[in-house]
Structure 1
């Protein structure tokens, strides 16, 4: 049943999507921007599409905790989490799903997520036909229709398990389209005094990332107010310098990025660092990072005392003073950070 044929707006979205695909535009986000809609609205317009349609979508019920737990059955997949300036892609298997202080953790050998379900509003199982066959994914969006997390099947993934998962978590409402709701981001940390209290509770780079992300646009001001032994501004091109040096010296890095709904981590060495136009990329088997260098408005060397001594991080902020991503040393439990990493961060030129 082709429900959108009864809705001219949704029918137009489907038609325009097909035309954009035929024109060679592959990214949903870019197509949605051209159509002046959110990516979530683009996906939701294809709920109820015919079996021979270019994209077929099933609405998922919002039982996010159980759904993520069931993703272990899919086997090897690719997890994707992004914000406007950084895309983090990691291959692996979803494993143990645990909850602590209203945060859901997915911690496997490769997949490493912190999920905040208050920002998860819509979920979809998506199948899209292309030249290389059918691409299958699970996609999750916030109330504004902005993607918080995606999961893509790989050739070795269990398609039967994917189809069963989609059926088991199918929502009773399979009408196409969503209504988006926009609201200004609210910072959990409202002033520098609150920031300092939270700063004292930071134990490692993961805690630091959460703190800086919670500051929203106040992050820049708070870093500027810290003592110089705790935070110093460095040139914005230090992201490239650090990644290239880490690849050359085989440093084991912790790379954290995300959005209000999900933080995704890579922990381990990197190898292939490539610049393509405005994009600074890590292109390794099992891990890809795509960072818009032109979106980095300021970069900060941050040094904090943690459970196992001092640890050093490079925090990258956008023009609104919001955290984009954070690089640190991948910590071996019970041991301090690698001396070579600390030396690298300490030697970065200051602004």
Structure 2
């Protein structure tokens, strides 16, 4: 079985190559988990942290400007700013503010580490060794406060992260769903937050619901709709909301997007406070989705991978009680018309 010492040696050999891989890719090449690679010390001096999740995240408020990173297999969401309002509730930690906006689910967290060095970070992982959330120090971060936080939560871990990758759970097979009842309940929605309970109530996956609801509510689009949407928002200056998450955290950017760059399969937003890296090759399905609310219809473009998992969600910037931006609705309408998979009558 691979040992921490063996991981350190094999990683050093990788790092000495002409193109040293990032930690996530290095873990794959070494047939281990990113959490185990970090815990081994292969990436630098590392301190295990106590899994007192609410207190730890609450401590981020003292750090000043940081970079919050949440990713899944096909999208990376990086947001710069300060932690402000942090609250905990049954099964969740809620972070609200103009900079950092998170919906965290600590029941899916298992391990946390602080990595020292030039690029200090605090990294949180699930029981499978997959990264859930990472926090990076920057030039404006309060370094003494960072050191105090790490010292306060430093502890011997209760358990080590898995050395071998945990096989991904296969997607659940679609069950029988009453399409008529699903559509009726969808049309009766009062809030976008009621959509997940609707799926759970009908025992439908997101992809299955999209396919059954009717094209007025969920229209299939070409994968290129995502970059077209971002390009249109950049040109017009229309503020958006971009959600990227995994099973342990969802991270949200609200605001405009400006600097866009395509590098191979990756479509990137490279703004001072927000970076998005979207692997278009991983987009199996894109959908224009309409959800009724008490404030009027709310329109989104939603990206799914080949297993039906969400890659990213895009909405127009809005708050509860406010109608959707007309500029956003026009952008989505135009993108849906140009990138529809089914014929659209002009």
Answer yes or no: same fold by TM over 0.5. yes
User: 2:245: which partner in 1?
Assistant: 258
Contact 2:70–2:132 (8 Å) recurs in 1: yes
Question: Shift in Å at residue 197 of structure 1?
Answer: 8.8
CA 1:83–1:191 in structure 2 vs 1: closer, same or farther (change >3 Å)? farther
Take 1:198 and 1:59, find their aligned partners in 2: how far apart are those partners?
Answer: 46
Corresponding position of 1:161: 145
Change (3 A) 1:282 1:198: farther
Q: Cα offset for 1:33?
A: 0.7
SS at match of 1:306: coil
Conserved 8 A contact 2:177-2:202: no
Structure 1 residue 19, shift from structure 2 partner: 2.3
Question: What is residue 26 of structure 2 aligned with on the other side?
Answer: 31
- With over 3 angstroms needed to count, the CA separation of the structure-2 counterparts of 1:190 and 1:116, relative to structure 1, is farther
1:191–1:115 distance in 2 versus 1, CA, 3 Å: farther
Specify which of 36, 59, 66 is matched with residue 48 of structure 2.
59
Asked if 1:242 corresponds to 2:223, the answer is no
TM-score by length of 1: 0.86
* Deviation (angstroms), 1:203: 1.1
Shift of 1:42: 0.6
Q: After superposition, what is the alpha-carbon deviation per residue over 1:135-165, rounded to whole angstroms, capped at 9, x for unaligned? A: 1000000111000000000011111111111
Residue 72 of structure 1, CA deviation: 0.9
- Is the CA contact (8 Å cut-off) linking 2:128 and 2:162 kept in structure 1? no
Q: Secondary structure at the match of 1:254?
A: strand
Give 2:191's aligned residue: 203
- How far residue 73 of structure 1 moved from its aligned partner, in angstroms, is 1.0
Residue 17 (str. 1) matches residue 6 (str. 2): no
1:99 deviation in Å?
2.6
- Cα RMSD over matched residues? 2.8
Q: Is the 8 A contact 2:218 2:288 kept in 1?
A: yes
Q: Post-superposition shift, 1:198? A: 7.6
Quick check: 2:199–2:209 contact (8 Å CA) kept in 1? no
Q: Distance in 1 between matches of 2:206 and 2:190?
A: 15
Contact 1:59 1:174 (8 Å CA) reproduced: no
Q: 1:82 to 1:11 in 2, by over 3 A?
A: same
Name whichever of 90-99 and 109-118 sits farther off. Answer: 90-99
Which segments of 5 or more consecutive residues in structure 1 lack a partner in the other structure? 1-6, 129-133
4+ aligned runs moved over 4 Å, structure 1: 174-183, 193-202, 206-217
Displacement after TM superposition at 1:251 (Å): 0.6
Aligned residue pair count: 332
CA distance in 2, matches of 1:333, 1:219: 23
> How far 1:346 moved relative to its partner?
2.0
Residue-by-residue CA offset, 1:10-60 (whole Å, 9 max, x unaligned)? 1111112222222241410011111011111111111xx8xxxx6011111
* Gap regions ≥5 residues in structure 2: 342-346
